[in-house]
Amino acid sequence: MVTRLVLTVDNHDAAATLVDPTVEEQSTTTLVATTTSTQAPTTTTTALPVMPDPPSLLLPEVKEPGLAQGSSGDDVLAFEQRLRSLQFDPGKVDGKFDSATRGAVEALEKLMGLERRGRIGIAERLVLMAFKYPAPLAGPDREAKRVEIDLDRQVLILYNNHLVVLITTTSTGNGRYFCGGNDGCQYAVTPPGKFAFTFGSVGWHKVKLGMIYNPMYFNEAIAVHGSESVPTTPASHGCARIPMHIAEYFQTLVTRGDPVYVIGKQAAPTSGGQSPSGSTTTTIPTSTTLTPITAPTTTSSTTVAPTTSSSTPGTTFPPTTVAEPTTIP
């Protein structure tokens, strides 16, 4: 007896029938085999942009005490170009070591834990040649556009799309107990926490405690503003001072609502700090708990005309009300 195999295929099902040719009519048995495919679920993750470390670069050799304010030449030009490429702003890249160049070098020294002397020496050269960006203090998964103010290292870093676009030296509250502001006697501190830019104003503003330039407020009367004095240590009444040439355009890089992270330990009172009773104060709050965003307090106001950045879209500042008497420079 010859048995033939008839195989029919339809999609994923296969049917096989055995037929005996010696029998005209008979019942047939159909075998059905079913195949199934199991596919693992797919998960889509979006990787956050990571600031790429720059390639190493050979820079001119320097001898101690190094290049300093007043130096000039091709060596200075090479270092200015390197600083600019790393997002430290040395001002005009022209081979002249001026105050803007010094501020950029001080920002580098602060960020990398070098001696804060504002000179390009052997250590500064080596760091610049093999520079690596430090990890964000607020964490890599924070807002894509934000400002971080490092109280410990006294630097301000601006991120856009998670990438570093500016690193500058800053000087924050020095911890001294002072009187003379509109809020009575208080400690000169820059409180740690999470805040947001609320408004900005243009030009020089005279307040009870001094002069401030192009302030951008983020914590009531505390602002990031330009100053002709930005020491390497905390020296302000609470604001975050930045160099004048950076304050010229800082407002074009940020907008209202951009988060500001103030991270680190606020300055403790110095030997000159006095409490209202006259006794020396040794401690002040140093909590790093994130605080809610607060609106500025206004007692008397000055209207400032709007400004528009021609190079950066979306950075127009409408007329604002500046609480001059309560500003802490």
Q: Say what the pLDDT of residue 185 is.
A: 87
Question: What does the domain layout of the chain look like in residue ranges?
Answer: 4-34, 74-129, 146-326
Residue 200 neighbours by CB distance under 10 Å? 24
Q: Say what the pLDDT of residue 327 is.
A: 52
Fold of 146-326: L,D-transpeptidase catalytic domain-like (2.40.440)
CB 285 within 8 A of CB 166: no
Radius of gyration of the chain (CA): 32
Identify residue 32 by its one-letter amino acid code.
V
CB 93 within 8 A of CB 81: yes
Q: Say what the pLDDT of residue 36 is.
A: 52
Q: Give pLDDT tens digits along the chain (329 positions).
A: 444 444 444 444 444 434 444 434 444 444 444 445 556 666 566 678 888 899 999 999 999 999 999 999 999 999 999 999 999 999 999 999 999 999 999 999 999 999 999 999 999 999 999 999 999 999 989 999 999 999 999 999 999 999 999 999 999 999 998 887 666 788 899 999 999 999 999 999 888 888 899 999 999 999 999 999 999 999 999 999 999 999 999 999 999 999 999 999 998 876 454 443 333 332 333 333 333 333 333 333 333 333 333 333 333 333 333 333 345 57
Q: Say what the pLDDT of residue 37 is.
A: 52
Do 74-129 and 146-326 share a fold? no
- The hierarchical CATH code for the domain 74-129 is 1.10.101.10
Residue 321 neighbours by CB distance under 10 Å? 14
Residue 216 neighbours by CB distance under 10 Å? 26
Element (H, E) at 213: strand 210-219
